[in-house]
Amino acid sequence: MAKKESRRKSGDKTKIEKGTLRRIFPFYKPYKGLFALDLLSAFIMSIAGLVFPVLVRVLMYDVLGDDFKWAFLFQIAGIMIAVKIVEVACRYYMTTVGHIMGARIEKDIRMSLFNKFMRLPTSFYDDNKVGELMSRSTTDLFDITECTHHCPEEIFIVIVKFVGTFAYLMTINVELTLIVFATIPVFAVVTYFYNNRLNRIFRQNRKKIAELNTHLEDTLSGIRVVKSFATEDLETKRFEKDNEDFVKIKRQSYMNMGGFFSSITLFSSIVYILTAVTGAAFIQKGHINAADLITYLLFVNTLLGTVDILVQFTEQYQQGIAGFQRYCNLMDTPEDISDKPDAIDIESFDGEIEFSDVSFRYNDGADVLNHLSVTVAKGESVAIVGPSGGGKTTMVSLIPRFYDVNSGAVRIDGKDVRDVTLRSLRKCIGIVQQDVYLFNGTVAENIAYGNPSATREDVVKAATAAGVNEFVDKMSDGYDTVVGERGVKLSGGQKQRISIARLFLKNPPILILDEATSALDNESERMVQKSLDRLAEGRTTLTIAHRLTTIKNAERILVLTENGIAEDGNHKELMERGGIYANLYRTYEN
């Protein structure tokens, strides 16, 4: 039973590898000319390596013969030099142009991976770690590149030299050749055994590297929190444990590689000794002469060089195939949120939003929204409040299709958002969140992110509307000031106003403000709120806030609970009802 299970797993692994190889071949297609020349260079270099022992045999026959001629000696020497020049030229081409081809394939694979990242839904990033994704974009791709460049060359060289050596030696002495090559099946068994083990270990290796990168990225991103809690020692111990686990996996890989290399070295020695001893016996019996034995030893040396190449191939192939399998796993991740084949492009919306009998849950959990129905009129300012976990952020996240409803529909101007292309839908929606993300560029570059084609004049105009000019004008480099990673050089209010300036440039008809001022102090909140009020003019605006004083002037307030819309009205009406909103407001005031 165990043997059957082992055979089944081995068969499944073979199928997976074949499928993986079929998927890597298309990346060679744009460079088929370079690839063909690369393999041609490998072929010529292999032939040149085989020609050299043949020339030595011819030379030995001449030297040991009775009719030695110096002219013939120099002629053979000239041919040898020419052969070596050709071999060196082919090696140069493979090392330069071949590597460039590999780098271009790496570029294409990385680009396809990045495009996949851009298409994957928000839910994917909820469940996956950035550090692990970074590892797939760097470490894995390096191994894939080495594999795509070197492995075809190496296996081609091995085949040519192996077949060429066998064919030529058979013309000298069949029995001695068969004795020498009878050791090959032993080598094949050893290679197959370690091949399976190395494949498994290299996959574990990649996984552990990804975990290390994730931990490092997480710690460095939260370095201010680490320092504020004085938990450097704790983080060091955690990283030390992950680092030690990585060493354990590497130890397994090196132990197996050591066993593999040692087995190959032993095999090579046995073949060499077997050739020398058996060859000497054949000379004694008159089956071959000294020149033939020298030729055999030279060809065996070539054959053992081929074995070294095969060892390199095994390591590079296993690392590359493990990396490419991880790449394929990511590329096969379903794109749950994508454009319908007949999705339409929309230039703009008027801004009426309708939630029609909407239900939503995360994965297989309980419903967060249950048969929600509500309409927001064009240009209306609506605030959404309610207890934590009531689904406020989830509700507004359904509008730009960060998630899709499980049932019901979200419509804008009567159009189901699923019938509109994601690009045109999201271009019409502006979002200001509590956690502002700024890129490590200048103030101007971060503002221009709202409209990459904007002029400097447009950027300054948007910045002025958002109140950014009030602090940028005091900076020595003005709009060319670098904000640092995630905007670390700016205050929370300054970052928030830059994010608002982005939306002035984007100029969307629909605005979503999700806890936009909740993390700010009173002074910053007042200044940012003024910017938000200017931004919201003439737009359909949905505001989520825990600071209820910031939304008391909203035209309409929705109270969202786990049971749906519990209350709907303006501040005055809801306070007079004395319901959930009134209790929340009084609690906040107190």
Residue pair 246/212 in contact by the 8 Å Cβ criterion: yes
Q: What are phi and psi of 368, to 5 degrees?
A: -90, -40
**Which residues neighbour 281 within 8 Å (Cβ) at sequence distance 6 or greater?**
none
Check residue 10 and give its pLDDT. Answer: 46
**Which residues neighbour 369 within 8 Å (Cβ) at sequence distance 6 or greater?**
358, 359, 360, 391, 394, 395, 398, 564
Check residue 11 and give its pLDDT. Answer: 47
Type of residue found at 59 = L
The span from the CA of 422 to the CA of 346, in Å, is 10
Most confident of 118-127, 167-176, 193-202: 167-176
Per-residue pLDDT tens over the stretch 422-464? 989 989 998 888 778 888 888 898 888 888 888 999 989 888 8
Strand 407-412 with 353-361, pairing: antiparallel
Check residue 3 and give its pLDDT. Answer: 46
Check residue 521 and give its pLDDT. Answer: 63
Taking alpha carbons only, the member of 25, 31, 24, 156 closest to residue 99 is 31
**Which residues neighbour 509 within 8 Å (Cβ) at sequence distance 6 or greater?**
348, 349, 350, 351, 428, 539, 540
Per-residue pLDDT tens over the stretch 332-344? 888 888 888 999 9
Residue pair 324/147 in contact by the 8 Å Cβ criterion: yes
Among 86-90, 131-135, 271-275, the range scoring the smallest mean pLDDT is 131-135
Strand 540-544 with 367-376, pairing: unpaired
pLDDT top residue among 281 and 206: 281
Quote the crossing angle between the two packed helices 456-465 and 492-506, to the nearest 10°: 120
Type of residue found at 372 = L
Average per-residue pLDDT for the chain = 83
The span from the CA of 82 to the CA of 43, in Å, is 16
Quote the crossing angle between the two packed helices 139-172 and 130-137, to the nearest 10°: 30
Of all helices (H) and strands (E), which one includes residue 20? helix 2-24
Residue pair 197/254 in contact by the 8 Å Cβ criterion: no
Query: Exposed (0-12), middle (13-18) or buried (19+): which is 47, by Cβ within 10 Å?
Result: middle
Q: Is 514 helix (H, G, I), strand (E, B) or coil?
A: strand
The span from the CA of 100 to the CA of 531, in Å, is 51
pLDDT band of 9, cuts 50, 70, 90: very low
Domains and CATH numbers, the chain: 17-331 (1.20.1560.10), 353-589 (3.40.50.300)
- Taking the model in full, what pTM does it have? 0.73
Residue pair 324/20 in contact by the 8 Å Cβ criterion: yes
Which residues make beta-bridge pairs with 442?
A: 482
Hey, which bits of 486-590 come out as E strands? Answer: 510-514, 540-544, 556-561, 564-569
What percentage of residues in the chain have a pLDDT greater than 90? 15
Q: Over 90: is that where the pLDDT of 85 sits? A: yes
Check residue 586 and give its pLDDT. Answer: 84
Per-residue pLDDT tens over the stretch 490-545? 888 888 888 888 888 888 999 898 877 665 666 667 777 777 778 888 889 898 88
Handedness of CA 534, 535, 541, 545 (dihedral sign): negative
**Distance, CA of 316 to chain centre:** 19
pLDDT (average), residues 406-411: 93
pLDDT band of 587, cuts 50, 70, 90: confident
Type of residue found at 339 = D
Task: Map tokens 């030695």 to a residue.
Answer: 68
H-type helices in 229-289, by residue range? 232-284
The span from the CA of 302 to the CA of 161, in Å, is 8
pLDDT (average), residues 479-486: 84
Which residues make beta-bridge pairs with 374?
A: 355
pLDDT band of 82, cuts 50, 70, 90: very high
Check residue 8 and give its pLDDT. Answer: 46
pLDDT (average), residues 29-41: 91
Which residues make beta-bridge pairs with 381?
A: 541
pLDDT band of 7, cuts 50, 70, 90: very low
